[in-house]
Amino acid sequence: MKPNVAAPQTRDRLIAAMLDALRGRGYHGVGLSELLASAGAPKGVLYHHFPGGKAELAAVAVRVAIDNMLSSLDRLFEKHADPAVALAAWMDGAQKQLRSSAYERGCPLAAIALESTPDDVAIRSALAEGFAAIRARIAAALENHGVEPAMASRIAMLILAAYEGALLQARVAGRSDALRDTSAALIALIDAQPRSPR
């Protein structure tokens, strides 16, 4: 007898559908009907779970994507004492995901960040908070490894900007060279930093 595993709830299916859309076609590339069909959700249910409609759903999806990225980073920083090794593994994972999608599914954060306008207050707020949290997590790992705090913060900013930019370049080129080369350059930069004893 198969174990009784509960199916994902409608709210979770809507979030997953939005994340999938953001990775592949972007915020404006998918309509509400398509999102509902992808989530297997009846019409009208979107506003029950997300009274703010598509924009609120997108903001929640951004927060879920950020939480997933932070969890991934936490696992890697726990597994690897050297943050350079952990970050190399993080970028290697991104390369593998991009290749496995035939370069069709990129980072959901970059897609919606590029599409958002000043009117998308909730979306931009979720993105700003999320990017700040990722930078803080990377900076903390660098500091724990002896990198001076102000420099750790600057390098974390560079790492996140380079990671997102390399993903975009790799996706449009249909090759992972940009990610591979960016990763190598960032690791060399981290390794070159003077370390204070901890």
**Residue 161 pLDDT:** 95
Contact 37, 122 (CB under 8 A): no
Range 63-191 has CATH code 1.10.357.10? yes
- Least confident among 60-64, 92-96, 104-108, 190-194: 104-108
What is the mean predicted confidence (pLDDT) over 130-159?
Answer: 97
Residue 171: Cβ-neighbour burial (10 angstroms; 0-12, 13-18, 19+): buried
Q: Measured in Å, how far apart are the chain's first and last C-alpha atoms?
A: 54
Q: What is the 3-state secondary structure (H, E, C) of 68-127?
A: HHHHHHHHHHHHCCCHHHHHHHHHHHHHHHHHHCCCCCCCHHHHHHHHCCCCCHHHHHHH
pLDDT in tens, 2-30: 444 445 699 999 999 999 999 988 898 88
| Contact call for residues 55 and 123 (beta carbons, < 8 A) | yes
Can you tell me which residue has the tokens 């080369």?
181
Q: What is the pLDDT of residue 54?
A: 93
pLDDT per residue as tens digits for the range 38-64: 999 988 889 999 999 999 999 999 999
* pLDDT the model gives residue 119: 92
